[in-house]
Structure 1
Amino acid sequence: MKYLARTLEGRPLLGDEEGFVPLSAAAPGLETVRDALPRAAAGTLPDVDDAPADRIDAEGLQFGLPLEREQFGKLWGIGLNYAEHAGDLDEQRPEEPASFMKPSSALTGPGGPIRLPPLERSERVTAEAELAVVAGRQCRSVDEDGVDDAIAGYLPVIDMTAEDVLQRNPRFLTRAKSFDSFLVVGPTVAVPEPDDALALEELTVRTVVNDRVAAENEIRNMLFPPREIVAFHSDVMTLESGDLFSTGTPGAEPIEPGDDVRAEVEGIGTVSAPVVR
């Protein structure tokens, strides 16, 4: 697995399990992580070993958003994508991906913080761990079998919902999902090696609050797997490099100021953030 990331100061990085080097040292001409996404999708990222720079251990780095905010594309979310979670919410199993979009102003990087809205706006916010997929190139109407060539990589995200807003009226979904800091992204985009087929279905997603596992499930239990989600939406609109799909949560947990929230995606990564108001 290779990793694309940015430091808190915005320096683009390329890494592997042993550490990170400046992206430009490994691939002269690639000035941003966004520049590297098409090569990630094509499986042509350089090896970190070939960079004329010493690795820096991940423990010695502070990571920011993996792409600059304006370099993200469309931010898709998928609701009710685990049958068990839909049952918890007394919702019927959808026959097609239940998708919605979030604004870029909802983005925040590792460490957040997650800022709850004023109580007069919402008294009940939940946090949800999810696997996210990042598109690597422009594409339209790709089929599920060929969609890997359009995917740059995967990363963990924490999605938030103002549930009391949503419960008042399902048409308020966009507002309930769109408060500032309601999408914590990062810290690294995991890029599978071309000769290493990533068995996504075997991985587990966990919502963890205050070190307690609030919900977990295997990706195999998604109603619509990640590759199908990307292929489905490519029939709706042109996808572009930097588009992000949050693929649904195994379960949501109410959060309050002082809590610490973590999304764990086995084999992909972890992201966490404290909760404030």
Structure 2
Amino acid sequence: MKYLARTATGRALLGDEEGYVPLSAADPRANSVRDALPLAATGDLPGVDDAPAERVPTEDLTFGPPLERFGKLWGIGLNYADHAGDLDEERPEEPASFMKPATALTGPGGPIRLPPSEQSERVTAEAELGVLLGRECRSVATADVSDVVAGYLPVIDVTAEDVLRRNPRFLTRAKSYDTFLVVGPAIAVPDGPVDLADATVSTRVNGAVAAENEVRNMLFPPADIVSFHSEVSTLRPGDLFSTGTPGAAPIEPGDEVRGTVESIGSVSASVTGRRS
């Protein structure tokens, strides 16, 4: 597995399990992580050993969002039968998708800022597997999705749940508050075909597991989600799909939330007090 990431100051990195080097040192064609997305999708991303630079250990780095600017931010709701049951919702026959604004996005560490209590008193956090596009595509077959995906990353999706429960048509507003999508810290780029069916997605709050499930139990697997939405609109490098959560956990100021996708990585964020 290779990793694409950016430092908190915006320096593009290429890494592996042993550490990171400057991305441009490994591949002069890539001055930014966005430049590297098509290379990742086509399997042309070089290895860390190809760079004439020494690795910097991961623990010595502070990471920002892996892309300076993402594209479309798609979310998938009710993609695990157990989570649909928690919300008293019926299993959808097609992917239940929504979109989030770019202003909802924040990097590893957060913080997640809660809305004023007069707007929402119950906010939940949800770990998800993120799928990042690396090549432009339209009407891509499920079997060919791996040819357009650059990699995967852990995501924490956040919802003003009481807003959503008042009326399902309020979904976009419930999902759109600033800092309601935590991404990073790195894009995991497989060295070849990857089967994530056995991977566990888990939501933890203050170290305790609040919800977890395996990707195999998704109603719509990641490749199906990408293929389905490529029939809706042209997908471009930097578009992100948050593929649904096994369960949501209520969060309060002072909490620490961690989303983990087995074999892909983890992202955490602190929860701060409510905005005035």
TM tier, smaller:
over 0.9
Q: Match of 2:197, SS?
A: helix
Tell me, what secondary structure is at the counterpart of 1:52? coil
Distance in structure 1 (CA, Å) of the matches to 2:232 and 2:105: 24
**Separation in 2 of the partners of 1:214 and 1:199?**
25
Structure 2 residue aligned with 1:272: 268
- Could you say which residue in structure 2 is the equivalent of 1:90? 88
Q: Which residue of structure 1 aligns with residue 28 of structure 2? A: 28
Q: How does 1:10-159 map to 2 (within 5 A)?
A: 10-68=10-68, 71-159=69-157
Output the amino acid matched with 1:268: I
Cross-structure match for 2:189: 191
- Aligned twin of 1:244: 240
The structure 2 residue matched to 1:205, chosen from 201, 208, 230, is 201
Letter in 2 for 1:262: R
Where does structure 2 lack aligned partners over 5 or more consecutive residues? none
CA distance in 1, matches of 2:87, 2:100: 21
Report the TM-score, using the length of structure 1 for normalisation.
0.98
The separation in 2 between residues aligned to 1:25 and 1:221, in whole angstroms, is 40
User: Among 176, 179, 193, which residue is 1:178 paired with?
Assistant: 176
Q: Deviations over 1:172-225 (max 9, x none)?
A: 10000000000000000000002xx31110100000001000000000000000
Query: CA offsets per residue over residues 134-174 of structure 1, 9 Å max, x none?
Result: 00010000000011000000000000000111111111100
Q: Which amino acid aligns with 2:163?
A: V
Q: For the residues of structure 1 that align with 2:43 and 2:28, how far apart are their CA atoms?
A: 17
Deviations 1:40-64 (A, max 9, x none): 0000001110100000110110000
Report deviation, 1:29.
2.6
Distance 1:268 1:203 in 2: 9
How well do the aligned residues superpose, as a CA RMSD in angstroms?
0.6
How far apart are the structure 2 equivalents of 1:50 and 1:4? Answer: 15
Q: Distance in 1 between matches of 2:50 and 2:91?
A: 48
Aligned to 1:7: 7
The one-letter amino acid paired with 1:247 is T
What letter matches 1:207 in structure 2? T
Equivalent residue of 1:228, what SS? helix
- Aligned partners of 2:229 and 2:29: how far apart in 1? 31
Q: How many residue pairs are counted as aligned between the two chains? A: 273
TM-score, scaled to structure 2 = 0.98
Give the residue type in structure 2 aligned to 1:208.
R
Aligned identity (percent) is: 73
CA distance in 1, matches of 2:70, 2:258: 22
